[in-house]
Amino acid sequence: MMRIQNALSFIPAHERDLWVTMAMAVKAELGDSGFPIWDDWSQTAANYNALAARSVWKSCKGAGVTIGSLFHEAKFNGWRDDSNYQKPTAEQIAAQQRAAEERQSKEGKERIKAAQDAAKKADWILSQCKPEKHAYLDSKGFPELEGLVWRPDSETNLLCIPMYVGNNLGGVQMIDKHGAKKYLSGQVTSKAEYRIDSGALNATDWWVEGYASGLSLRACLHALKLRYRIHITFSAGNLKRMAHSGYVVADNDASNTGALAAQATGLPYFLAPGVGNDINDMHKQDGTFRASQSIGRWLRGLREEQEFYQA
């Protein structure tokens, strides 16, 4: 528990989405016995409300969030994972306070309102979508797959991917038939994701950048009969920020952006063969069986390496 308290002390409690995520992380690890720890940390926020805290804690039912999310966020804010108790430095505390004050400033309030407006618009757009086939999915090797499609005109219709921050809808990624991607003005993209979950207990986290990559990864993991929870993060930078457990499947960019982001997570990562390729390219070229076998061999290699060093 001391390790969790220590890590929490480095995380600002003022952002609601992060506050709720930390509740889910603590509850997933400690159950209801973790409430005092989370509640004590919550009281460091100027806008703390005891009734709201109890209501949020009670509503946490689990959504794939683990204690790893808490430790990952703490490390991002300067925490070091060692056995010695550390308090945040004065500079770190001041930075957190400045960030909280900035969020309450006029500019911060305007950004919050823009994000709220974008979330409402995203919700409206998604309510207008219909499950249909789409040219983009066809081009990515999924001609029979239906997605959420907005607008009836096949020349201008958009494939819509919901983007969630925690359990809350933050925005939507809209993809036209040529693969061009758009986002709503003001929407939150940092820490946003779309999940594809096998629905099985003890599922393993997998992290990718793009929606088509997530679809191809799902096909491969399904062929391998593995339990999975695929996180689509929409960018290399966001993947780097979010990935905290499991495996990364990186884009093999000519710029090396995908590989560098994967390396920065500290997690094992699979890199599609061929510069300029991602797992969707590999899947289209090789088919599900051969692509899944490549991932299977990679996983076996990781296990053999771990067994070697543990022997």
**Percent helix, percent strand, percent coil in the chain, to nearest 5:** 50, 15, 35
CA separation for the pair 186, 30 (Å, rounded):
36
pTM (predicted TM-score)? 0.71
Residues β-bridged to residue 204: 228
Contact criterion met (CB below 8 Å) for 60 and 24: yes
| C-alpha 146, offset from chain centre | 23
CA separation for the pair 282, 288 (Å, rounded):
9
**How are beta strands 247-250 and 204-208 bridged, if at all?**
parallel
Q: What is the pLDDT of residues 168-218, one digit of tens each?
A: 999 999 999 999 999 999 998 888 999 999 888 889 999 999 999 999 999
Mean pLDDT of 39-66: 84
Determine the pLDDT at residue 106: 64
Determine the pLDDT at residue 93: 67
Determine the pLDDT at residue 12: 85
CA separation for the pair 221, 218 (Å, rounded):
5
Determine the pLDDT at residue 46: 79
Contact criterion met (CB below 8 Å) for 168 and 119: yes
194-310 is classed CATH 3.40.50: yes
Q: What are phi and psi of 49, to 5 degrees?
A: -135, 120
Q: Could you tell me the residue ranges of all domains in the chain?
A: 2-104, 120-183, 194-310
| C-alpha 307, offset from chain centre | 29
pLDDT at 140 over 80: yes
pLDDT at 284 over 60: yes
Contact criterion met (CB below 8 Å) for 189 and 235: yes
pLDDT at 79 over 60: yes
Residue in the block written with tokens 């009969």: 225
CA separation for the pair 250, 267 (Å, rounded):
11
pLDDT band at 75 (very low <50, low <70, confident <90, very high): confident
Both structure tokens of 208: 């990718």
Q: What are phi and psi of 26, to 5 degrees?
A: -65, -45
Q: What is the pLDDT of residues 5-21, one digit of tens each?
A: 889 988 888 877 788 88
Determine the pLDDT at residue 212: 98
Residue 47 or 231, more confident: 231
Contact criterion met (CB below 8 Å) for 302 and 267: no
Both structure tokens of 190: 């940092």
Give CA torsion, residues 84, 87, 88, 94, to 10 deg. Answer: -170
pLDDT at 84 over 70: no
